[in-house]
Amino acid sequence: MFGLPGLFRFIGLSLFATSLATPQGPAPATPPTFRSQSDLALIDFAVTQHGKYVSNIGKDDIEVREDGQRQEAAFFETRHSLQTLPTDVILAFDCSRQMRDAGFLNPQTIQAKLLGEGDGMRIAVYGFSDQAYRLTGTRDVGELNRAAGLLMQTPARPLPLLYKSI
């Protein structure tokens, strides 16, 4: 019925039509992409006058230039300002039965000494067992002591379910 060339043409067209009619699988998933950009540059310098360091300079006392063009300083930090930058410390305590039985959960862990390390430090306390309990960041010693006491009142479950509690 078909000659040899016609048969090949028929088979080729049949395969082509079949491939068009066959549903295509989902497109391969592209891996997620994370992009980040920063236009800040860290410029570390020291100012001396007559061989002694000058410490009472501020943002308005310096000028930064790039290719002859003045650039605005986005952030200016001195040795003295380092102590006033805010610091948040988060303490997470596993309140499960294993930690208590081993003596690892001790309310004396949080002491006022932590607050003496920096004027800008705040401490947040989290306790978890099968639920999460938290005290938001504070510098109040009384609040921290209260949080330490509440850690011992957190229900002691056999296994910590950190993922579930959060």
The model's pLDDT over 106-154, given as tens digits with 9 standing for 90+, comes to: 666 555 556 555 566 777 777 776 666 666 777 777 777 777 777 777 7
> What's the Rg (C-alpha) of the chain?
33
Residues 59 and 76 in one domain: yes
Q: Render pLDDT for 80-116 as a digit per residue (tens, 0 to 9).
A: 666 555 677 777 777 777 777 777 776 665 555 565 5
Domain that holds residue 111: 86-165
Q: What is the pTM of this model?
A: 0.39
Alpha carbon distance 120, 118 (integer Å) = 5
**Does residue 99 sit in the same domain as residue 63?**
no
Domains: count for the chain: 2
Question: Residues 6 or more apart from 87 whose CB is under 8 A from it?
Answer: 118, 120, 121, 122
Instruction: Give the pLDDT confidence of 3-60 residue by residue, as tens digits.
Output: 545 545 555 555 555 555 555 666 677 776 767 777 778 888 888 899 888 888 888 8
The reply to whether 94 and 156 lie within a common domain is yes
